[in-house]
Amino acid sequence: MERTVDKTAKVIRQIERHRPDLLEIRFDLMKPSTSCSEIRSATHLPIIATNRRRCEGGVFSGPEATRTRTLMQAAQEGFDYVDLELKTRNVDKLVRQLQRSGARVVVSHHNMKTTPRLSTLESVLRRERRTRADVCKIVTTASSDLDNLSCLALVNEHARQTRLVCFAMGKRGVMSRLLSPVLGAYFTYASSKVGRETASGQLPISRVRAIYKELGVA
């Protein structure tokens, strides 16, 4: 999550040394008129464009039309994925527009306070599926170790039918961040290094790879 295209391109080249499978570029802090083409040309890896609102854990505070325009621009300039919140106005229409522009759409839902019970998570998942999302993403906040089990149960039950990303944020949610891909989640998130986290509970990619190697799943 950088403030300029130049800085973002520089960081991408640094991150590539860690062999990520894909990158998320956060546009929260960039100027709305920013072109995405230089970012796209900085790597051959798949890229997710995200412009997260404050109410869902981001820092973007401008007009909604400006936020979604940036995401549309990213799709048109070759980003592989665009993250679009389920609560976005006219989300179904925007999903179709982004897909027509060539991007796959991650429809996401973030609960910044709690981890609901499994039946509630499944209800959210059904709503995301109805948008015809390419990837469904549900992120909660863990207040206890048991909250990880709700996220992992959702992945275990539904990841075979849906490209699903689900885990809990916070220190108590690290378990679900790590184990959800083992149970079939489409991907999980890591930071480039300590101090570069974009959400609570992210571990640096080097540590995540080391843990997976220790578990025998890397």
Please calculate the CA angle 57-129-174 and round it to the nearest 5 degrees.
40
Asked if residues 20 and 47 have their Cβ atoms less than 8 Å apart, the reply is no
DSSP type of residue 56: G
Q: Distance between CA 119 and CA 122 in Å, rounded?
A: 5
Q: Distance between CA 103 and CA 125 in Å, rounded?
A: 21
What's the sign of the alpha-carbon dihedral 209, 214, 215, 217? positive
**Which residue, among 95, 93, 90, 91, has the nearest Cα to 75 in the 3D structure?**
95
Reply yes or no on whether 158 is catalytic: no
Point out the catalytic residue in the list 137, 158, 171, 213: 137
Asked if residues 172 and 142 have their Cβ atoms less than 8 Å apart, the reply is yes
Point out the catalytic residue in the list 7, 44, 110, 171: 110
- Catalytic amino acids? 110, 137
